[in-house]
Copies of this chain bind each other. A is one copy, B any other.
């Protein structure tokens, strides 16, 4: 296999522009982009149903997407559009950005249809596209809140109206439908609206940005999909206009709207986490297509702020409920973690773009961390209940009456941005497993499945994340190319054999073992990652978890939940870092192959005074069994206290 075979096959380049929509997944830089890695074709990877990623994707297909479709009906999102064409007499319901949920569900259906075929959604899609087309103004404008309630306010209240945010999600849905489901009717709707935005808000038009970034990344993708540079220009213009004070600031300040400073001057992530991360994805996309290195430099500085000072161990973001915002450096309270599901999804998307831009494994590492913890925890075992906020600690006596901090997952939310966001990500999840470049194939997420990159195929057999052994059967014609395997940062020791022969498993400065050789016929690569239980400590300035350890194994963060601890309060468990729990039996009811079991000391001081003279370390009264389960499986047994960070003896 020649390197160019791989390059041709991975879907990167002009294929998308030249009319092979099925080739591309959600984010497909053009051939002229600055990307150093390219996504594979959208159909190049097939996840095994038995693997964890495949299981999540299957659950999305079997449960989550239909659940979302049903809620678009029952929550009024569709009626909001119908009332514009006289097809509903209901009042407008939900938030002003309710249209975006419709679009995200359509996007999910688009990817899922392309991945595995229609599952009865076609009628819904056709009816909804027809409805949207019917409701669309003749000039292309489409927004059920503004058209229905404030038609005179078009573009006039972008600090909160989400008009461009909704346009962005419409565009992403249309791209998915066009690329993966093979229908372009929604693309026509989206382009008409996007063309209006270009005419009215583009060069020479109104200087406008949206209080909620999202349209930037969408417009770049629309450029990639259609070849129309005006979309890229509008995205770039909106990146440039940000931080110039165009938006009136409300009580949460300019940072809430990500309008506090020009993009290139921002070195710290502050304000609304989802908005910051969507913006970062858009800026990175603009870099990829323009090659403006100053944008990449600003994104790398921002990345350091986010991931070196403001990220939960679960890969989640947002320390504050008040304004859904990043906190100060090291402000990472587990109990009041906002950790919005959409922020984790946005983080995943941003890191994917940085991975393509740089080829550095640290970005794939953050994708993996978020995926297996913050993102996975958002969905219940039934695929029909979701967390919006993903705390790392639920206190005994928690008041779960507010939907921003419930005691268990809810089936839907007043602001239900997260469930459809999960649906669209899961439907395209396989797409993020591997990339290609002129050297060969890079495997970023180690999961069971099949990767077909041009003539070479990789059959990956593994129980990862439960086990560190990864067997890869490589098949293909004779050719020299490089198979790059990302070695997760948590792994202290990895070995690699090819057909039984030990290989140099040195990890390079980008985080990969690179197996360059003349491949051909069948080869069997075995990667063994040491996967001991780890006791993680946080930087001492993370005051909220001082003196605590978190249990992890492989990419999974574990937690202790009251359901496993009988009469012993999980709040009172004390972890011995020198004798942490070890891999134990499966929990079949939770679908967990590996729990961690051991013993813990028990705090003997409760109840007691709130404050008192310090009298030495807290006494322990007893020893009790400790059982830890993966964080992503918590809260599947009714509301009960939970801790990720466990005080140490």
| B549 x A548 contact (CB < 8 A) | no
| A331 x B395 contact (CB < 8 A) | yes
Chain B contacts for A571, CB-based, 8 A: 541
Contact for A402 among B252, B330, B336, B645, CB less than 8 A: B252
Chain B contacts for A328, CB-based, 8 A: 335, 395, 397-399
Q: With A322-B321, A546-B548, A546-B647 in contact, do A613 and B540 touch (Cβ < 8 Å)?
A: no
| A401 x B253 contact (CB < 8 A) | yes
> 1/0 per position for A251-287, CB-CB distance to B under 8 A?
1111100001000000010100000000000000000
> Is A610 in the interface zone, CB < 8 Å from B?
yes
Chain B contacts for A248, CB-based, 8 A: none
> Is A309 in the interface zone, CB < 8 Å from B?
yes
| B544 x A547 contact (CB < 8 A) | no
Query: Which among A17-25, A182-190, A514-522, A600-608 touches the partner chain?
Result: A600-608
Q: Which of A538-564 contact B (CB under 8 A)?
A: 538-550
Chain B contacts for A237, CB-based, 8 A: none
Shortest beta-carbon distance, A5 to chain B, in Å?
A: 40
Shortest beta-carbon distance, A553 to chain B, in Å?
A: 12
> Is A393 in the interface zone, CB < 8 Å from B?
yes
| A311 x B534 contact (CB < 8 A) | no
Shortest beta-carbon distance, A603 to chain B, in Å?
A: 5
> Is A307 in the interface zone, CB < 8 Å from B?
yes
Q: Tally chain A residues at the interface, Cβ within 8 Å.
A: 70
Shortest beta-carbon distance, A109 to chain B, in Å?
A: 30
Q: With A404-B322, A543-B544 in contact, do A251 and B414 touch (Cβ < 8 Å)?
A: yes
Shortest beta-carbon distance, A515 to chain B, in Å?
A: 28
> 1/0 per position for A308-351, CB-CB distance to B under 8 A?
11010100000011110001111101111000000000000000
Chain B contacts for A597, CB-based, 8 A: none
**Most B Cβ at <10 Å: residue of A254, A320, A402:** A402
| A606 x B541 contact (CB < 8 A) | yes
Which chain B residue lies CB-closest to A319? B336
Chain B contacts for A291, CB-based, 8 A: none
Chain B contacts for A543, CB-based, 8 A: 334-335, 393, 544-545, 548, 645, 647
Shortest beta-carbon distance, A518 to chain B, in Å?
A: 39
A610 to B402, CA, bound (A): 31
Chain B contacts for A313, CB-based, 8 A: 611
> Is A396 in the interface zone, CB < 8 Å from B?
yes
> Is A50 in the interface zone, CB < 8 Å from B?
no
> Is A127 in the interface zone, CB < 8 Å from B?
no
Q: Which of A606-629 contact B (CB under 8 A)?
A: 606, 608-615, 618
| B336 x A320 contact (CB < 8 A) | yes
Chain B contacts for A614, CB-based, 8 A: 535-537, 549, 577, 648
| B396 x A329 contact (CB < 8 A) | yes
A333 to B253, CA, bound (A): 23
Shortest beta-carbon distance, A527 to chain B, in Å?
A: 21
Q: Which of A374-422 contact B (CB under 8 A)?
A: 393, 395-399, 401-402, 404, 414
A335 to B320, CA, bound (A): 11
Chain B contacts for A647, CB-based, 8 A: 540, 543, 546
Shortest beta-carbon distance, A492 to chain B, in Å?
A: 8
Q: With A322-B322, A548-B546 in contact, do A538 and B395 touch (Cβ < 8 Å)?
A: no
Which chain B residue lies CB-closest to A616? B577
Which chain B residue lies CB-closest to A402? B253
Chain B contacts for A252, CB-based, 8 A: 402
Contact for A329 among B251, B254, B268, B397, CB less than 8 A: B397
Q: With A255-B399, A395-B328 in contact, do A612 and B540 touch (Cβ < 8 Å)?
A: no
A328 to B401, CA, bound (A): 12
Shortest beta-carbon distance, A331 to chain B, in Å?
A: 6
Which chain B residue lies CB-closest to A251? B414
| A540 x B603 contact (CB < 8 A) | yes
A612 to B577, CA, bound (A): 13
A401 to B252, CA, bound (A): 9
Q: With A336-B336, A571-B541 in contact, do A536 and B613 touch (Cβ < 8 Å)?
A: yes
| B546 x A546 contact (CB < 8 A) | yes
Chain B contacts for A260, CB-based, 8 A: 401
| A539 x B611 contact (CB < 8 A) | yes
A546 to B333, CA, bound (A): 12
Shortest beta-carbon distance, A288 to chain B, in Å?
A: 27
| A537 x B404 contact (CB < 8 A) | no
A63 to B393, CA, bound (A): 45
Chain B contacts for A270, CB-based, 8 A: 399
| B541 x A544 contact (CB < 8 A) | no
| B613 x A333 contact (CB < 8 A) | no
Chain B contacts for A539, CB-based, 8 A: 605-606, 608-611
Chain B contacts for A534, CB-based, 8 A: 613
Closest 4 pairs between A and B when the two form their complex, measured CB to CB: A547-B547, A537-B614, A321-B322, A322-B322
A252-B402, A253-B402 given; 8 more Cβ-contact pairs under 8 Å: A255-B399, A321-B322, A328-B335, A328-B398, A331-B335, A537-B614, A544-B544, A549-B614
Residue numbers of A with Cβ under 8 A of B are: 251-255, 260, 268, 270, 307-309, 311, 313, 320-323, 327-331, 333-336, 393, 395-399, 401-402, 404, 414, 534-550, 571, 577, 603, 605-606, 608-615, 618, 645, 647-648
18 contacts between A and B (CB under 8 A): A268-B397, A268-B399, A270-B399, A308-B609, A309-B610, A311-B610, A320-B322, A331-B395, A334-B543, A395-B541, A536-B614, A538-B611, A539-B609, A539-B610, A540-B603, A540-B605, A543-B645, A543-B647
